[in-house]
Structure 1
Amino acid sequence: MTTSPGDRIAAELDEAGRPAPDVVVQPDADTLARAVAEALVARLAAAQAVHGTASVVLTGGGVGIAVLEHVAGLAAEPVREVVDWSAVEVWWGDERYVPAASDERNEKQARDALLARVGVTDARVHAMPASDAGFGSPEEAAEDYAAELAELAADGEEVPRFDVLLLGMGPEGHTASIFPDSPAATDVRPVFAVRDCPKPPPTRISLGFSAINTAEEVWVIAAGEGKAEAVARALGGADAVDIPAAGVHGRRATRWLLDAAAASKLPAPPG
């Protein structure tokens, strides 16, 4: 079975009483990245209209960085919604524990693709620590990031408001740096170190489900036929230990933003 580009597949509530995932399919990866960028600009502008500031959690990966490149391009276009990038708090869902100058860091890729191009205030860029930042271990680095999150959170909360939290997904269903059948899949801390990842580099820092699922909106972005099986399993109700992407949800909305190849094993929409 296949869905058609542009299809939206949604139900009102899932079995836990949360808003069920909203699935949007675009014809190809580049169209997907452009569409996500446009939606992100609109969502951040709306958050600023309500709160004065906006908060976004970024992801890496090919499509994730392509989204940021498109966002930077939109900043130069006469779009209806305008984001004040000096009033956007920027966080990350996970990071490779490598030196700060490494091209493998999601932070470096995001700075090159977007942050350095639109004037995000340095004080609002909350990068996860690099391996050469002076911490004795990735565990200490993760604790430091948890402390930074808590410092900007409301009283009694472990993390601040996240208006939009972007996630990618691997072909085996991992998201952030939560891999199937790993200790991270059952870790209840908001931030933790991840060792021995099956995908290099092996050491990382990641938000956990307890932090991810506080976001107002969680957007999972996936492209390519290699993701299709995991997408179908995640949206089909797989256990989060088996398919970690199945365990993420937003407080107000959960959006799965896919290209046609990644959606190719989903059931056909009704009608």
Structure 2
Amino acid sequence: MRHEILGDRAALVRSAADRLTALIGDLLVAQGRATIAVTGGSVGNELLAALADREIDWSRVHITWSDERFVEAGSADRNAQQAREALLDLVPIPEANVHELPASDSATLDEGAVQATAMLEELGRIDLTLLGMGPDAHIASLFPGLPGVRERGARVIAVRDSPKPPPDRLSFTLDAIDASDRVWLIVAGDDKAEAVALAHSGADADIAPAGAPQGRLETVMLLDDAAAAVLLD
């Protein structure tokens, strides 16, 4: 994993939006479609909002999520609902191109993981997986010390007893993340600085899941100045 430091939080979001817009354009020229797994969280939603006025052919873009809070469809807690409010309801993306992970009112948690894995298999290779990172160095809903970090084979797993509410979640595994062509971690804030340094230290994935992803073509952590502070010491 390499890292880039892009200035303050606003500059980070703006630069990430520029890069994502350019990548989508290149993918549409090269292969006719782009498949992106987006992330939740404040920075992830700011990035999505920054795309709302970009010149993007949304009719050929497919969106899914690298993790989801397992609550009812339409809940304000769902990453998908927040993404709709930030971007998807504002642009002409076909509903058939929006691939939400299952909700708690349509399946059990274990059924949701099986259904989401099947959905990803049908969707095909993901061109880019976007990830945030927590102060504990978690990514998606893969938390330090929990068994999901070591899960192999399945693309999406059920996560129980998440340290962050709500406790039940669906998450990409590291295998699913690593199957993406590109992985970008978008990280902002001084509360993430220790975790950023830990992720770059070679620590085991059980300790720092954020240091584990390896996209097929590219893996990069895009940082604001605050998140990079300890890394630069």
After the TM superposition, which residues 102-251 of structure 1 pair with which residues of structure 2 at under 5 Å, given as runs? 102-133=75-106, 135=107, 137-152=108-123, 160-188=124-152, 189-251=154-216
CA–CA separation in structure 1 for the residues paired with 2:113 and 2:149: 16
| Counterpart residue type for residue 253 of structure 1 | E
* Cα offset, 1:83, TM superposition: 2.3
After the TM superposition, which residues 50-69 of structure 1 pair with which residues of structure 2 at under 5 Å, given as runs? 50-69=30-49
| Counterpart residue type for residue 170 of structure 1 | G
* Cα offset, 1:22, TM superposition: 2.8
Name the residue aligned to 2:59: 86
Unaligned runs of 5+ residues in structure 1 are 1-20, 76-81, 153-159
* Cα offset, 1:250, TM superposition: 1.0
For the Cα contact (< 8 Å) 1:44–1:163, is it kept in 2? no
For the Cα contact (< 8 Å) 1:107–1:127, is it kept in 2? yes
TM-score (ref. length: structure 1): 0.83
CA–CA separation in structure 1 for the residues paired with 2:191 and 2:210: 15
| Counterpart residue type for residue 195 of structure 2 | A
* Cα offset, 1:249, TM superposition: 1.7
For the Cα contact (< 8 Å) 2:68–2:101, is it kept in 1? yes
CA–CA separation in structure 1 for the residues paired with 2:93 and 2:47: 16
Name the residue aligned to 1:46: 26
Name the residue aligned to 1:78: none
Unaligned runs of 5+ residues in structure 2 are none
For the Cα contact (< 8 Å) 1:95–1:204, is it kept in 2? yes
Name the residue aligned to 1:25: 5
- Percent identical residues: 45
For the Cα contact (< 8 Å) 1:179–1:185, is it kept in 2? yes
CA–CA separation in structure 2 for the residues paired with 1:193 and 1:116: 28
CA–CA separation in structure 1 for the residues paired with 2:214 and 2:189: 22
Q: Find runs of 4+ consecutive structure 1 residues off by over 6 angstroms.
A: none
For the Cα contact (< 8 Å) 2:73–2:104, is it kept in 1? yes
Name the residue aligned to 1:70: 50
CA–CA separation in structure 2 for the residues paired with 1:236 and 1:45: 34
* Cα offset, 1:267, TM superposition: 3.6
| Counterpart residue type for residue 38 of structure 1 | D
Deviation by residue 1:17-63 (Cα, 9 ceiling, x = unmatched):
xxxx2311122112111111111010111111100000100000000
CA–CA separation in structure 1 for the residues paired with 2:210 and 2:70: 22
